[in-house]
């Protein structure tokens, strides 16, 4: 029996009057890669940002229902949002390196968490960059501005940056939407390598990407979860005709 890491029950979300998620219920297992597919505007990204409460930054964001992370209600009273976000790393659609050096980008979160020891930070940076598959390319120029890296390198830097926080979960919001096929391939390789240690939730517009890397896939449409199941099942024999229509490219 697989361990449930995240339990979502009847979770709904709105931005002001606009309903963005309608009564979502699903489980996310430990150390799986869950792919989330669906057309734009289907609530995929909002769902991701509900998991680390990044929606809180948007005015008029309200939610109801339950999200439990390792048994703890993340919207419950007394929950430290800061601690929560340290457990959940997030990679955005466009890589956003902060305007500082490669090194400072990687250790940013750890510095904010209070780590000061220069040697430890150095080790952490190396370890994280290695895991993200970027170390060899940048090891001689860690002091270079992160803005000078290529798009693909920046995205792997963003992955290294969250790995440095030693999170349990990694959320990726269309991480390769702006990248070329080779950079995309490198990122997918890193994801497969990371699966043993982390639980990964991958939102993607590219259904083929979900088919390539996800263990299970969820299909969102208009703020609803249409279906969720083993990736093979979803792609070979979806139970809902809308899923079939989307995957075979009849809409979306």
Partner 1 sequence: MRIRPRLEEKIVRAALRLLTLLTVAILLLIVGFILKKGLPAVSWKFITSNPVDMGRGGGIFSTIIGTLALTLVAVVIAAPVGIGTAVYLTEFTWENKITRVIRFGAECLAGIPSIIFGLFGFILFVDKLKFGWSILSGGLSLAFMLLPTIIRTSEEAIRCVPADYRQVSFSLGSTKWQTVTRVVLPSAIPGIITGIILSIGRSIGETAVVIFTAGSALRLPTSLFSSSRTMAVHFYILAREGISMSNAYGTAAVLIIAILAINLATYYLLNKFIRKYS
- How many Å apart are CA 165 and CA 175, to the nearest integer? 19
Q: How far is the CB of 160 from partner 1 (least distance, A)?
A: 12
- Helices vs strands, H then E, count in the chain: 11, 10
Q: Are 162 and 89 in contact (CB under 8 A)?
A: yes
Q: Are 91 and 178 in contact (CB under 8 A)?
A: no
Smaller CB distance to partner 1: residue 90 or 226? 90
Smaller CB distance to partner 1: residue 2 or 148? 148
Q: Which of 4, 144, 147, 237 binds partner 1 (CB under 8 A)?
A: 147
- Give the SS3 label for residue 15: strand
Q: Are 86 and 165 in contact (CB under 8 A)?
A: yes
Residue located via tokens 């040697």 = 119
Q: How many binding residues for partner 1 (CB under 8 A)?
A: 26
- How many Å apart are CA 219 and CA 70, to the nearest integer? 24
Q: Which of 86, 131, 156, 242 binds partner 1 (CB under 8 A)?
A: 86
Binders of partner 1 in range 23-62 (CB under 8 A): 52, 54, 57, 59
- Give the SS3 label for residue 113: coil
Q: How far is the CB of 214 from partner 1 (least distance, A)?
A: 22
Q: How far is the CB of 10 from partner 1 (least distance, A)?
A: 25
Q: How far is the CB of 23 from partner 1 (least distance, A)?
A: 26
Beta bridge partners of 201: 34, 171
Q: Which of 4, 98, 193, 237 binds partner 1 (CB under 8 A)?
A: 98
- Give the SS3 label for residue 99: coil
108 in contact with partner 1 (CB under 8 A): yes
Which spans of this chain sit near partner 1 (rule: CB under 8 A)?
52, 54, 57, 59, 82-83, 85-86, 89-90, 92, 94, 96, 98-100, 108-109, 112-113, 145, 147, 158, 161-162, 165
């Amino acid at each position: 029996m697989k361990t449930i890491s995240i339990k979502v029950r009847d979770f709904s979300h709105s931005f002001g009057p606009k309903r963005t998620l309608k009564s979502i219920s699903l489980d996310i297992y430990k150390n799986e890669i869950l792919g989330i597919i669906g057309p734009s505007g289907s609530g995929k990204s909002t769902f991701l940002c509900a998991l680390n409460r990044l929606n809180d930054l948007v005015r008029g964001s309200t939610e109801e229902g339950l999200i439990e992370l390792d048994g703890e209600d993340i919207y419950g009273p007394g929950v430290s949002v800061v601690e929560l976000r340290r457990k959940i790393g997030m990679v955005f659609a466009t890589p956003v390196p902060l305007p500082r050096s490669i090194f400072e980008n990687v250790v940013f979160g750890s510095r904010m968490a209070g780590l000061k020891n220069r040697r430890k930070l150095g080790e952490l940076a190396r370890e994280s960059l290695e895991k993200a598959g970027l170390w060899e390319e940048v090891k001689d120029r860690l002091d270079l501005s992160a803005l000078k890296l290529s798009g693909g390198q920046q995205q792997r830097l963003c992955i290294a940056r969250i790995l440095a926080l030693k999170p349990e979960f990694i959320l990726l919001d269309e991480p390769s939407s702006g990248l070329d096929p080779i950079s995309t391939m490198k990122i997918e390789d890193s994801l497969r390598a990371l699966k043993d240690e982390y639980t990964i939730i991958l939102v993607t517009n590219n259904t083929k990407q979900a088919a390539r890397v996800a263990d299970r896939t969820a299909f969102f449409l208009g703020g609803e979860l249409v279906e969720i199941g083993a990736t093979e099942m979803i792609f070979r024999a979806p139970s809902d005709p809308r899923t079939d229509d989307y995957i075979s490219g009849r809409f979306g």
